[in-house]
Amino acid sequence: MPENSIPKEAAYQIINDELMLDGNPRLNLASFVTTWMEPECDKLMMAAINKNYVDMDEYPVTTELQNRCVNMIAHLFHAPLGESETAIGVGTVGSSEAIMLAGLAFKRKWQNKRKAEGKPYDKPNIVTGANVQVCWEKFARYFEVELKEVKLREGYYVMDPVKAVEMVDENTICVAAILGSTLNGEFEDVKLLNDLLLEKNKQTGWDTSIHVDAASGGFIAPFIYPELEWDFRLPLVKSINVSGHKYGLVYAGIGWVIWRSKEDLPEELIFHINYLGTDQPTFTLNFSKGASQIIAQYYQLIRLGYEGYQNIMENCRDNAMVLKEGLEKTGRFNIVSKDIGVPLVAFSLKDNSRHDEFEVSAMLRRFGWIVPAYTMPPDAQHVTVLRVVIREDFSCTLAERLVIDYHKGTS
Ligand SMILES: Cc1ncc(COP(=O)(O)O)c(C=O)c1O
């Protein structure tokens, strides 16, 4: 920290100049997170920048907006709610916090059941695919739950439901399925998982259930694949997380977790505080946070409506196709993403004798593009892929430009 103050204009200039060296968020094709919102929403967010969300008594309208968001998202996910029933869920900083909370609810419910049965409850485990995002590894380590991962294999990069169900035992707190794998955008088969698990529960007398990590897919599937059954329509799905800041179309800092019903969120995890005024139930890992993201989510939901989200998601899917076809035409890539899934294109080189995927990533960086290259998890770690995430602000012209730059950089 410097000894003396400097004029505000100088401080601004120094920081602004240094930040120019950051990448351009709009060309950051690595991220699922929203980088553009309408100016009207920016205005609402700036107006709320000094509001602490947790001061619910002081900002009751903001709290009401979060509750409306929870309700809208729960209905979108087909939560079995009566006409006047309110949904059970909460806004979080992102899907990671949402997953910690959902995981804790499963762990506590399992422990309570085991205690009541007089059985040991010190070795909980969770079954996932090896393709899970790092937040699941964090959950497992921070909250002392063994992570049992179904291994991938070349050509199959998501959790195999048959193998997952085989791994379930009496200590399994839940199986976590991903709607939109981070690695290739593919939707896992939650319906098949549900059916196989129902069968196993019937045979064993257990009641193992499912959490769906719909960080990306939760705001895609309801709009462009409405017939796909992955949500609370399936009886074993007890909770779902989604990132508001991914295809929920809000800047970084908002996620959601929704429970099927009150019974799925153990009451002892909810804290009641009253020092800010009235009784405030809170179930989050942190306390203070900004209110802007909640307001922005509410803006997007009412501004776009079902129709608006559907148009945007269709557009993203179409642009993903343009890019996929452009890359296929080069004859140099294998596409490892699927047409149904998160609108992204994941691809690997057919021949990497001239350059590998990491070199392609570095070459594209010279043109300003940020396209990550990474290796797949076990047992497909020998496969390296590049991934371009198609967001709302990634136009078809940019998709064509990216292919042209690839040619320029490698010819
Ligand atoms: C499938 C999946 N789950 C969880 C996360 C973590 O989400 P967040 O960044 O909102 O904490 C991600 C992030 O990319 C993801 O892709």
Query: How far, in Å, is the centroid of ligand 1 from the Cα of 157?
Result: 17
**What average pLDDT score do residues 81-99 get?**
94
d(CA 266, CA 263): 7
Report residue 135 as tokens: 């937040």
- Number of other residues whose CB lies within 10 A of the CB of residue 330: 13
State what percent of residues in the chain have pLDDT above 70.
99
What domains can be seen in the chain, in order of their start residue?
25-35+315-410 (3.90.1150.160), 45-300 (3.40.640.10)
Residue 281 confidence class, pLDDT cut points 50, 70, 90: confident
Instruction: Kindly report, residue by residue over 386-405, the tens digit of the pLDDT.
Output: 999 999 988 889 889 999 99
Angstrom distance (rounded) from CA 187 to CA 320? 16
Instruction: Tell me the torsion sign for CA atoms 15, 16, 20, 26.
Output: positive
Q: Are 33 and 246 in contact (CB under 8 A)?
A: yes
Mutate to test the pocket of ligand 1, among 31, 92, 135 (most ligand atoms within 8 A of CB): 135
Judged against a pLDDT cut of 80, whether residue 381 lies above it is answered with yes
Phi/psi for 51 (5° steps) reads -100, 130
Q: Cα of 242 to ligand 1 centre, how many Å?
A: 8
Residue 276 has pLDDT above 80, yes or no: no
Query: Which mutation among 99, 131, 133, 219 tests ligand 1's pocket best, with the greatest number of atoms within 8 A of CB?
Result: 133
For ligand 1, pick from 136, 159, 182, 387 the residue to mutate: most ligand atoms within 8 Å of CB.
182
Per-position b or e across 364-383, b if 16+ CB within 10 A of its CB: beeeebbbbbbebbeebeeb
Nearest to 211 by CA among 108, 106, 131: 106
Backbone phi, psi, residue 214, to 5°: -105, 40
Mean pLDDT score, 314-334: 95
Instruction: List strand residue ranges (DSSP E) for 327-408, in order.
Output: 333-335, 344-349, 373-375, 384-389
Q: Is the CB of 133 under 6 A from ligand 1?
A: yes
Going 229 to 269 to 103 to 294, the CA torsion angle's sign is positive
Q: What value does the mean pLDDT take over residues 222-242? A: 98
Residue 377 reports pLDDT greater than 90: yes
Statement: residue 278 has pLDDT above 70: no
Contact 400, 326 (CB under 8 A): yes
Q: Give pLDDT, residue 127.
A: 98
pLDDT at 7: 98
- Mean pLDDT within 287-313: 97
Half-sphere exposure (Cβ direction) of 72: Cα atoms closer than 13 Å:
19
Q: Residue 15 has which token pair?
A: 């920081």
- Whether 298 has a pLDDT exceeding 90, the answer reads yes
Evaluate: CB of 255 within 6 angstroms of ligand 1.
yes
pLDDT digits (tens, 9 = 90+) for 9-66: 999 999 999 999 988 888 889 999 999 999 999 999 999 999 999 888 889 899 999 9
Spatial separation of the C-alpha atoms in residues 286 and 114, rounded to whole Å: 29
Measuring CA to CA, which residue among 260, 391, 390 is closest to residue 327? 390
Mean pLDDT within 216-243: 98
* Ligand 1: centre distance to CA 135 (Å): 7
In this structure, what are the phi and psi dihedrals at residue 301, rounded to the nearest 5 degrees?
-65, -45
Arithmetic mean of pLDDT over the chain: 95
pLDDT at 150: 98
The pLDDT score that the predictor gives to residue 58 is 87
pLDDT at 89 over 90: yes
pLDDT (tens digit per residue) in 128-182: 999 999 999 999 999 999 999 999 999 999 999 999 999 999 999 999 999 999 9
pLDDT greater than 90 at residue 411: no
The predicted pLDDT at position 339 comes to 95
Q: Is the CB of 243 under 6 A from ligand 1?
A: yes
pTM reported for the whole predicted model: 0.96
CB 80 within 8 A of CB 261: yes
Q: pLDDT at position 275, please?
A: 65
Which is the closest atom of ligand 1 to the Cα of 132? 1
pLDDT tens-place string over residues 187-205: 999 999 999 999 999 999 9
C-alpha of residue 96 to centroid of ligand 1, in Å = 6
Which amino acid residue places its CA nearest to atom 7 of ligand 1? 95
pLDDT for 331: 93
Cα(220) to centroid of ligand 1, in Å? 14
State the pLDDT at residue 267.
92
Share above pLDDT 90 across residues of the chain, in percent, rounded to a whole number: 86
